Structure 1
Amino acid sequence: MAILIDPPAWPAHGRLFSHMVSDTSYAELHAFARNHSISLRAFDRDHYDVPDDLYNRLVSGGATPVTGGELTRALIASGLRVPLKERPEKIRNTLLRQWNEYFPYFTDLGEHLLEQWEQPHRAYHNSAHLLEMLTVLEKLTPLTAELVLATWLHDIVYDAQPGKDEEASARFARDVGAPLIHQDAISQQQMDAVAGLIEATAAHTVDQLPPEIAQAFSSHEVHAFFDADMAILGAKTPRYDRYSAGVRQEFSHFSDEDFRRGRKQFLADATQREQLFYTEKARRLFEEQARDNMRRELQSLYL
């Protein structure tokens, strides 16, 4: 277990920065940074960017000085390195190609939506989540234009304000849906169903869904949509850890105590559910791993 730091050689904002990582866990990295009064806002996907004037203090405080190459190799070996498929700038073309398959005359709209997904404050709910959700959704049910549109718009507004984000995303969906309706790419009824499905993600339950959703989506499609959104819970351990670290960064406006309280409640409630996923295939793919991931994270929050 070690905190690693490379020499301050990366220019930004008129000064030089070092990269600081853990070769074991994000929890260890965040704890070290917190103990040395480094803001969570300095965390960038899998490392902290720290200014040159802190280098000696961090080394004296226990960080191990290494070269840039040694740091990168250790980060990759640890499984904590964010892979290319989770980097928004690397997956933009892939997402735009898929958007154009379903909405070929609305490329500008697709690019506008991606700009929303790529906002810098999104540490987990970014375009990597969008691509992962679309990939899982296609495994669970045949994609339709309505499902693709709902997925692209379901977290289009994200400010780490549960409930309010879903309402704002649904309003955004209705606004940007106007040209699609006007040019007959989607009907008003379908657009209303998309917005309703987005609002329903706040509770992530199929109980008492608005009737317009049932008119446009089958129950299996709704179940698959919810399962794809929550499939991250059943990701392999390194990816789950990057997800949980990203969520903490997005909620950096909460104190550690408040965040831990809310996160523990979410995990405790989830693990007590008889089934985490609605569809049989999602349960087969993700249920066991999801429970292992959440139990492990829940235990770490009590340490």
Structure 2
Amino acid sequence: MSLADRWPLEDHVELRDALLVAWDRDGYHDLLHLAEVLDRLDELASEDVDAPTVALAAWFHDAVYEGADDDEERSAQWAESALPAAYADEVARLVRMTVHHRPADDDPAGSALSDADLGILAAPPERYAAYAAGVRADFAHVSDDDFRAGRAAVLSDLAANPSLFHTRRGRELWEERARANLARELEELRRGE
């Protein structure tokens, strides 16, 4: 199934096509990332989550990605202005949640999106290395020393959480491998690699 076929709103293909163009870029936050997040949402499917709404949030969560502090906010604003009213507010809320990946305990939709987005942390070594290289490419404008310090801070903040994932299924599928990948990358960053 193509990525275009995974769009949940049949009558909004122009919006889908605009999003596909927005995601078609170099770095980690690209079409592959979108496809992987949608795949992981399928793995986390739950009766507690409105699948079309969370899928739309996945489509929008990094739609604007320029390495700026307001990328998620601009992505959320795009969702608010472009989506039908039945979806706009909730999709925008979910997109904004991805700034810190800290959904409330009683937020199954936010938990699913956060886990699907962070599921890359549990990737096999080759894919994880490509992910890390893609993140570095996303921040090519940042010096090596500043990037290492910033990346280490982000990973250390994640690693300090009692769990990286908010859904039981996400923890079962990914927690152990993700922690091993984080520890390995943090060690490489500390060594200056």
Q: TM-score, normalised by structure 2?
A: 0.91
Contact 1:134 1:148 in 2 (8 A): yes
Pairwise CA RMSD of aligned residues?
A: 1.6
Tell me, yes or no, if structure 1 residue 175 matches structure 2 residue 81.
yes
Question: What is the number of residues matched between the two proteins?
Answer: 188
Q: Which has the higher contact order (CA 8 A, sep 6+)?
A: 2
Tell me, yes or no, if structure 1 residue 138 matches structure 2 residue 42.
yes
Contact 1:234 1:289 in 2 (8 A): yes
For residues 269-293 of structure 1, the C-alpha deviation after alignment (integer angstroms, 9 at most, x for no partner) is 2222211101111111111111111
Q: Which residue of 2 aligns with 1:196?
A: 93
Contact 2:97 2:110 in 1 (8 A): no
> Separation in 2 of the partners of 1:298 and 1:250?
18
> Separation in 2 of the partners of 1:248 and 1:138?
28
> Separation in 2 of the partners of 1:286 and 1:144?
21
Q: Which residue of 2 aligns with 1:161?
A: 68
Contact 1:166 1:198 in 2 (8 A): yes
Q: Letter of the 1:232 partner, please give it.
A: I
Tell me, yes or no, if structure 1 residue 95 matches structure 2 residue 3.
yes
Q: Which residue of 1 aligns with 2:11?
A: 105
1:243: Cα distance to partner? 0.4
Tell me, yes or no, if structure 1 residue 124 matches structure 2 residue 28.
yes
> Separation in 2 of the partners of 1:266 and 1:175?
31
Q: TM-score, normalised by structure 1?
A: 0.59
Q: Which residue of 2 aligns with 1:286?
A: 174
Larger fraction in strand:
1
% identical equivalent positions: 38
1:173: Cα distance to partner? 1.0
1:108: Cα distance to partner? 2.0
> Separation in 2 of the partners of 1:168 and 1:106?
20
Q: Letter of the 1:272 partner, please give it.
A: A
SS at match of 1:94: coil
Contact 1:141 1:221 in 2 (8 A): no
> Separation in 1 of the partners of 2:21 and 2:79?
15
Higher Rg: 1
